[in-house]
């Protein structure tokens, strides 16, 4: 092991592992968006703003109302799940028969709305929940516990969604609708209800992400603008609605960001990742795992 | 609109409108009002550029990127190489066009449309924003960037403290945008793009070169948006990633164009008037307390408009007028040119 570590640059290894940890969180973000897209055929441009609202929810429950983290987190997840359902009911439902791009633009309006809502109500100050998790030191490498926790929680969240989709009736119906929207109505599935449930699950995943991200980043009304684009890129890179593709793309993206950041600033990691994305659009435009037609 | 059929009436009406608009700064010299008018003209031009693609279903969320390239390349060339904006702007436009080709070609070649296209172009505005922030040693990052005030000729530096000069300049640019819009509206490209937005495969089968047509309109739109960015930079003498690039600006363009009306020439202008006046009124009425309120109202309005008035304010008003004149229209009023050409082409 010692010899291996000497040959292998220790910082490189640290960056690789940090990339994997980041990938877990990104995969969670991508899962929610992919679920909504796969089932309802709608892109929530405001997805990251839901996370932002969830982070504020965590901040208020934890720091202002002094609830323990383990109570605040489920409440926050429920809150964002309700927001997701509300978003579907108020904005998407009336537009289901409109051109798909209108739905995307309408959620763009919601993005503006939520962002300014946060500015007006919470102010533009950066807020921190003030949980300082220790740094884990393995040899000469350093990992933050927050990232580790987020990685594990993201994996648990993803497995929970997987089990739900595979083992329950509603989950089966959701997967069936994702495969064929028209037929399932004839099979007696209430699409309205399924859409609402899916939106709530999508919201819940955003809520879970909020609970985890709040441990790593300060909350401010514009944080969605830094989370959102990466999430969309991952979903497109993996193929919109393709769960496995999104999963693979998350880790690939996270590694590029992490390793790119190793050689220069973190922003250059993002620039590299975006460049990689454009390159992949030439090579695999329908997503990483898409079959070539 | 009783002058609809008269061949002389329209040019006269246009000439009168042009003279009235050009005369404004000489009659009313209030610098604040002129400033608002200049902003409205510049942003109207940007929104018009966006709507040239948007009306054909090419919903780009990357125009913030083109605008950023136009503004930053011009300013960087001026500050670092001392290159006059008269040469810098063409270079910036070429950069934006290359960017549009790089993103547009794979999208159109591989039939990336709808959601996918919107998200891919979203990536573009994200990239431009990140690059501007990451190269903060040159661009000042998120703190913004100021083109150096010239010590020599103001004309050469394309700088001026005179609002009247800027008003007239912005008016010319805005009118140019409308001319291009109308030119595209009456060209073959418009029919081709209409066919493509209805059904790509059918259009391709009918002999339309889908990729080339889409690329043409995208590059044109990107060029104009970059020009808007450069003009904005030269006028404001300050740019930051938040005011000329990124997703916020891209969505703002979409919002204004949709609210005003995507399918009519003056729609984006109406959108710019509404959005800028709303923001200014809130700012004056409530001062710093109004921070965020304008976007709160924009957001709610955008959702309401897409649900209830997808043709926008001007589009819907023109529809009403048309309905009143012709009781049973078979085609939407937003597409008068197509209705005309179709009725001329088909035998009675």
d(Cα B241, Cα B251) in Å, to the nearest integer?
Answer: 14
Residues 55-94 of B with CB under 8 A from A: 57, 59, 61
Give B301→chain A minimum CA distance, Å: 8
The three-state secondary structure class of B86 is helix
- Residues of chain A short of pLDDT 70, as ranges, are 1-9, 264, 290-293
B96: confidence class by pLDDT, cuts 50, 70, 90: very high
CATH class of A2-283: mainly alpha
* Nearest-CB residue to A109 (from B114, B294, B302): B302
Task: Spell out the domains of chain B, with CATH numbers in brackets.
Answer: 9-327 (1.10.3470)
Mark yes or no for CB contact B296/A113 under 8 Å. yes
B340: confidence class by pLDDT, cuts 50, 70, 90: very low
Least confident window among A71-85, A135-149, B135-149, B302-316: A135-149
Q: Write out the H or E segment, with its range, that includes residue A136.
A: strand A135-138
Residues in a beta bridge with A142 = A137
d(Cα B121, Cα B112) in Å, to the nearest integer?
Answer: 11
* Nearest-CB residue to A282 (from B106, B114, B303): B106
Among residues A180, A175, A207, the alpha carbon closest in space to that of A194 is found at: A175
Residue B346 has pLDDT above 50, yes or no: no
d(Cα B62, Cα B69) in Å, to the nearest integer?
Answer: 11
Quote the strand ranges of A34-121, DSSP E: none
Mark yes or no for CB contact B299/A104 under 8 Å. no
* Inter-chain contacts counted by CB atoms under 8 A, chains A and B: 146
A105 vs B contacts (CB less than 8 Å): 59, 254, 258, 302, 306
Return the residue of A nearest to B103 by Cα.
Answer: A278
B345: confidence class by pLDDT, cuts 50, 70, 90: very low
B306 vs A contacts (CB less than 8 Å): 95, 98, 102, 105-106, 109
d(Cα B291, Cα A117) in Å, to the nearest integer?
Answer: 10
Return the residue of B nearest to A45 by Cα.
Answer: B119
* Nearest-CB residue to A271 (from B107, B134, B310): B134
B101 touching A (Cβ < 8 Å): no
B164 touching A (Cβ < 8 Å): no
Query: Domains of chain A: which residue ranges?
Result: 2-283
Specify the pLDDT at position A206. 93
| Cα of B149 vs its chain's centroid, Å | 27
Q: Write out the H or E segment, with its range, that includes residue A144.
A: strand A141-144
Mark yes or no for CB contact B303/A116 under 8 Å. no
d(Cα B21, Cα B28) in Å, to the nearest integer?
Answer: 11
Give A273→chain B minimum CA distance, Å: 9
Specify the pLDDT at position A180. 79
Which tokens go with B294? 């304008």
Specify the pLDDT at position A6. 53
B59 vs A contacts (CB less than 8 Å): 101, 104-105
Average pLDDT of every residue of chain B: 84
Residue-wise pLDDT tens digits, B13-51 = 888 888 888 888 888 888 899 999 999 999 999 999 999
ipTM of the complex: 0.79
A119 vs B contacts (CB less than 8 Å): 291-292, 295
Q: What angle do CA B258, B262, B263 make, to 5 degrees?
A: 155
* Nearest-CB residue to B303 (from A106, A118, A230): A106
Residues in a beta bridge with A76 = none
Among residues A234, A241, A214, the alpha carbon closest in space to that of A280 is found at: A234
B93: confidence class by pLDDT, cuts 50, 70, 90: very high
B247 vs A contacts (CB less than 8 Å): 225, 228-229
d(Cα A207, Cα A217) in Å, to the nearest integer?
Answer: 15
C-alpha gyration radius of chain B: 21
Specify the pLDDT at position B4. 56
B107 touching A (Cβ < 8 Å): yes
Specify the pLDDT at position B64. 92
Residue B332 has pLDDT above 70, yes or no: no
């Amino acid at each position: 092991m010692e010899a291996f570590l000497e040959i292998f640059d220790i910082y490189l290894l640290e960056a690789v592992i940090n990339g994997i940890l980041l990938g877990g969180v990104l995969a969670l973000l991508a899962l929610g968006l992919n679920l909504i897209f796969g089932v309802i055929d709608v892109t929530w441009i405001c997805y990251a703003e839901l996370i932002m609202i969830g982070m504020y929810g965590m901040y208020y429950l934890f720091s202002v109302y002094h609830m323990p983290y383990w109570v605040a987190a489920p409440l926050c997840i429920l809150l964002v799940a309700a927001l997701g359902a509300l978003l579907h009911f108020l904005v998407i439902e009336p537009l289901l028969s409109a051109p798909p791009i209108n739905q995307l633009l309408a959620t763009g309006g919601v993005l503006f709305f939520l962002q300014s809502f946060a500015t007006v109500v919470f102010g533009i100050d950066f807020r921190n929940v003030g949980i300082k998790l220790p740094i884990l030191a393995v040899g000469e490498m350093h990992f933050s516990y927050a990232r580790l926790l987020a990685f594990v929680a993201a994996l648990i969240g993803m497995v929970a969604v997987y089990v739900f989709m595979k083992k329950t009736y509603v989950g089966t119906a959701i997967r069936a609708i994702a495969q064929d929207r028209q037929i399932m109505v004839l099979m007696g599935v209430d699409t309205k209800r399924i859409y609402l449930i899916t939106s709530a699950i999508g919201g819940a995943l955003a809520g879970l992400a909020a609970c985890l991200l709040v441990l790593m980043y300060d909350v401010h009304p514009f944080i969605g603008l830094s989370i959102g684009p990466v999430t969309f890129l991952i979903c497109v890179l993996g193929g919109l609605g393709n769960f496995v593709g999104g999963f693979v793309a998350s880790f690939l993206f996270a590694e590029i960001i992490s390793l790119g950041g190793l050689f220069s600033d973190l922003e250059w990691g993002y620039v590299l990742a975006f460049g990689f994305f454009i390159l992949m659009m030439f090579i695999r435009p329908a997503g990483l795992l898409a079959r070539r037609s | 609109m009783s002058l609809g059929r008269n061949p002389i009436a329209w040019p006269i009406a246009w000439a009168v409108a042009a003279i009235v608009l050009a005369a404004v700064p000489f009659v009313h010299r209030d610098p604040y009002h002129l400033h608002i008018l200049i902003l409205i003209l510049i942003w109207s031009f940007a929104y018009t550029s966006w709507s040239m693609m948007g009306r054909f279903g090419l919903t780009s969320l990357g125009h913030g990127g083109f605008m950023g390239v136009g503004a930053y390349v011009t300013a960087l060339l001026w500050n670092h190489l001392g290159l006059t904006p008269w040469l810098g702007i063409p270079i910036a436009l070429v950069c934006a066009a290359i960017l549009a080709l790089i993103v547009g070609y794979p999208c159109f070649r591989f039939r990336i449309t709808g959601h996918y296209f919107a998200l891919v172009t979203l990536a573009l505005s994200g990239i431009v924003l990140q690059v501007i922030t990451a190269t903060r040693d040159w661009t000042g990052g998120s703190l913004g960037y100021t083109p150096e005030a010239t010590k020599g000729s103001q004309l050469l530096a394309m700088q001026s403290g005179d609002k009247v000069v800027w008003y007239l300049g912005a008016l010319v640019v805005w009118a140019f945008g409308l001319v291009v819009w109308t030119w595209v509206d009456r060209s073959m490209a418009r029919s081709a793009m209409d066919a493509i937005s209805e059904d790509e495969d059918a259009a391709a089968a009918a002999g339309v070169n889908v990729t080339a047509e889409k690329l043409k309109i995208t590059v044109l739109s990107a060029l104009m948006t970059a020009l808007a960015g450069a003009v904005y930079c030269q006028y404001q003498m300050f740019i930051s990633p938040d005011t000329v690039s990124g997703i916020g600006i891209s969505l703002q363009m979409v919002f204004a164009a949709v609210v005003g009306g995507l399918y009519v020439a003056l729609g984006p202008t109406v959108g710019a008037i509404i959005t800028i006046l709303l923001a200014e009124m809130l700012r004056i009425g409530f001062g710093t307390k109004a921070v965020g309120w304008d976007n709160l109202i924009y957001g709610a309005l955008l959702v309401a408009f897409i649900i209830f008035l997808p043709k926008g304010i001007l589009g819907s008003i023109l529809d009403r007028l048309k309905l009143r004149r012709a009781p049973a229209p078979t085609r939407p009023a937003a597409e008068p040119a197509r209705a005309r050409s179709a009725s001329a082409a088909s035998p009675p």
